[in-house]
Structure 1
């Protein structure tokens, strides 16, 4: 017996055949998108398993243990750092009052505009041996290069600090939302039982916010294992750098696939943990009323300490890097208005625009299919499509390049043998495969924004449209899309800026001589031309501020 959705009951019977046909179109498109999203993972697994045991044995004997230990160490450092800064800042701006607290509520989100690798370029310029800090130290003290100790910025610890400074807002945003939703009853009861403010926070508020905090930390961890620019520039050997080295420097496709499979397994395990944690994030307040938790007024040294603790991550993660990059850009010989840089900008804008449009279109197909046919089938398609957010860009690149490069080579060989025509790299040498990689990587963000807006469209509106003879496409075009315009624009903007900042997939998959701003910044920094790298980096940061401003507006609304 065929199931009939709730809104279908209000539709005229004569329109049901057309409606089912329209639903079938969305079902087909949704599953095409879902299968496209898991294709890189399947391809990586197959390429790794068919790569032979000699390659994996060589990796185990040489670099695999080092990659694993370094990746885990980096993940541990970033987890602790983002947890401490994110939760501490969220509690201070939510549950206390001190001068500037309203400003810090928004300013603490600003470091999200920075890619970690751009922050690495800025701090290397001032903290490295020839930088202004150590040069001034030697000039003032008269010390030689071996007469003093200074923390090494190009190290595992340095990479962790860069990642913490740009990723703690994930924890801050989710923790602050959880604290705002908590009732003050349990907290006040703990205070009435003799607990001080810190004990009440530790024993009551923090456990209630634990699922949201865990989700924020896991998001930061997934971004950490996906990072390539920072660890590559600092010479930290993780799985991400190993994939790129195996693919380009050694020409070992099987080794790259097997390293990618290791990283993919770790990423998917984190995705499962994150989803299960988020699924359990349900707490119910006792009593009939939700009593707002009264913020504590800080005075004296407590107020000053809270101000410093909130100002430090904002200054280190946003204000100081902007000043450094601006000064670096002024000293460089790079001209943003030159034909070469206009080409980089055009390439970046082209890729970001195409990827944003394709990704949002895929999100609409998936989200609307869930709306038309809620159930296990549509939820499975959506879940498969969301897996890409947990998969690093380098893994997606390898997963797409391996099968499509094989297809291009087979087609070229067949055409030459039968028609003496060279087809070249029709797919793997085009920007369209790179755009598809972006869609797989960032579809979860677009789908989340679309579903957030779609939840505000009441089911009665769907029923009214059906009763007036509208099929699925008409209902989407006349009812949903006009109401979801703000959510769709937000999704477009988020994906657009994420693509502008994306580096590993772009490095591996871009067509020959098709460089973007991110690639140019990485190339100049790799050549130790940090002043030049500041110019494209500033453009990336300026564009990254756009979605951060949207987030800040939402943070400002209780």
Structure 2
């Protein structure tokens, strides 16, 4: 199921019309590719610095508000990149609140006298995506810092290293695998983005795919552009795997963890400022903006539009169906892989997890041809046996979106269920078999009750990500079908920010659920 869209994409790109290839190479690919690579490099630097710095600050130092800050640094995960861009376009507008406050403090009265650089730029895109995606690095690196042995640091100190030298020469190199994992996840999310890039006027490969397909109705050109994205994805995964090969050197035994140094005075004040800055810029400002704009809209109009309510219902139904199917398939795969007699378990898991690495726009292009063929076969069968008129049963309904969501988010379902199965020893299965239990009874009476927390976590993660997904939804949705993400995209394109603020706020509120779950699981026993 995961390989089908990739093979379809390759075939479509190779057998497509090459008459436009010269135009793509001359006008589209160079700009889109250079913008994409520049964006990826900039985001990697920002998320690496902010995520690693935040992880070290909360791991190595103790200061007021630290316990709250540890989980608050995860809050930007609830704000998708396109919502972050949507909010900051208005916040940083020359007539917006931030520039207005700055001009008032500096004594200027008009935007003509003082204005910040335009947010619609490459620097603005890097800034916004970095704020939204740094928690990927923060989470993985902080776990690595907390697992490092205090004995190693003390040994370095006895050899004459200062705390700064110990961090640069010892701790940071040992954390490189975790940094690479976090950065790779952030870069994959950057590649998947279409809303923030288009809002900010950056022509990336993802935006070019959407333009080639939707605007110019050129599917083969979109597939050929998508090949470049697949190459970049492959390189990101390769670099991440290469860095993780050295992770075993960081997993040393630790009789005791590194004890945080207590900060007081001006050092504590600086730690509080630098620690909370990413949270304020990455969550507090966008969330407050969305709340204020939503209240304005409700106060001025009094009611929420019926179209927005319809989009909300569509989003919930679509995400719920995709969640049930994804978790069910993930449970089946994890159960099959658990069986000792199954030889190809790891390969099956890797194939099932591959979909998350494929950007939504690339996945949508690859799914189009297989889904059209299946639609044609179903339509022919229904016409011959039941005399139904020809129609699109998959592409004309939400079935195509459900399939795309299942492929893209299968990794979450498999990973969560596998983590649950890891806590169920095979000895329980063997004992149940000796008592005459069948495999079905073992699953129903032993596995399922013990897997409920893992299944709940998988359902939560898949449901929230399905609600936020924009790229695949834009390209595969049926006619006259809107979700909260596509509603927000359309409102932002029209410049009606108050209308889109309600949809954005609903997405952010739902996105807070996995953040709360992560905070409870990751920092439950943190000192």
TM-score relative to the length of structure 2 = 0.94
> Which residue in 2 is equivalent to 1:39?
4
Cα distance in 2 for partners of 1:156, 1:285 equals 38
Cα distance in 1 for partners of 2:9, 2:151 equals 51
Kindly state the Cα deviation for residue 525 of structure 1 after the two structures are TM-superposed: 0.7
Within the alignment, does 1:490 sit opposite 2:449 as a pair?
A: no
Within the alignment, does 1:77 sit opposite 2:51 as a pair?
A: no
> Which residue in 2 is equivalent to 1:15?
none
Q: Which has the higher contact order (CA 8 A, sep 6+)?
A: 1
> Which residue in 2 is equivalent to 1:160?
126
Cα pair 1:335 1:341 within 8 Å, conserved: no
**SS in structure 2 of the partner of residue 141 of structure 1:** coil
Cα pair 2:416 2:458 within 8 Å, conserved: yes
Cα pair 1:110 1:318 within 8 Å, conserved: yes
Cα pair 1:268 1:391 within 8 Å, conserved: no
> Which residue in 2 is equivalent to 1:52?
17
Number of aligned residue pairs: 521
Kindly state the Cα deviation for residue 303 of structure 1 after the two structures are TM-superposed: 1.4
Cα distance in 2 for partners of 1:406, 1:130 equals 51
Instruction: From 69, 76, 83, give the equivalent of 1:104.
Output: 69
Cα distance in 2 for partners of 1:124, 1:387 equals 34
Cα distance in 2 for partners of 1:309, 1:171 equals 17
After superposing the two structures, state which structure 1 stretch, 130-139 or 228-237, moved more.
Answer: 130-139
Within the alignment, does 1:372 sit opposite 2:374 as a pair?
A: no
Kindly state the Cα deviation for residue 475 of structure 1 after the two structures are TM-superposed: 1.9
Residues 175-214 of structure 1 aligned to structure 2 (within 5 Å): 175-214=141-180
Cα distance in 2 for partners of 1:334, 1:551 equals 37
Kindly state the Cα deviation for residue 366 of structure 1 after the two structures are TM-superposed: 1.0
Instruction: From 297, 307, 312, give the equivalent of 2:262.
Output: 297
Cα distance in 2 for partners of 1:462, 1:408 equals 42
Stretches of structure 2 lacking an aligned partner (at least 5 in a row): none
Kindly state the Cα deviation for residue 141 of structure 1 after the two structures are TM-superposed: 2.1
Cα distance in 2 for partners of 1:83, 1:137 equals 29
Residues 334 and 238 (structure 1), Cα distance of their counterparts in 2 relative to 1, 3 Å cut: farther
Cα distance in 2 for partners of 1:376, 1:237 equals 45
**SS in structure 2 of the partner of residue 128 of structure 1:** coil
Q: CA RMSD in A?
A: 2.2
Cα distance in 2 for partners of 1:439, 1:541 equals 22
Kindly state the Cα deviation for residue 339 of structure 1 after the two structures are TM-superposed: 3.1
Kindly state the Cα deviation for residue 381 of structure 1 after the two structures are TM-superposed: 1.3
> Which residue in 2 is equivalent to 1:274?
240
Deviation track 1:213-264 (CA, whole Å, cap 9, x = no partner) reads: 1101111111111111100111110011011101110000101111112112
TM-score relative to the length of structure 1 = 0.89
Deviation track 1:393-439 (CA, whole Å, cap 9, x = no partner) reads: 11111111123225545776898899986312122112111101001
Cα distance in 2 for partners of 1:261, 1:158 equals 27
Kindly state the Cα deviation for residue 166 of structure 1 after the two structures are TM-superposed: 1.3
After superposing the two structures, state which structure 1 stretch, 373-382 or 426-435, moved more.
Answer: 373-382
Deviation track 1:165-196 (CA, whole Å, cap 9, x = no partner) reads: 11111100110100111111111111112211
Cα distance in 1 for partners of 2:424, 2:408 equals 27
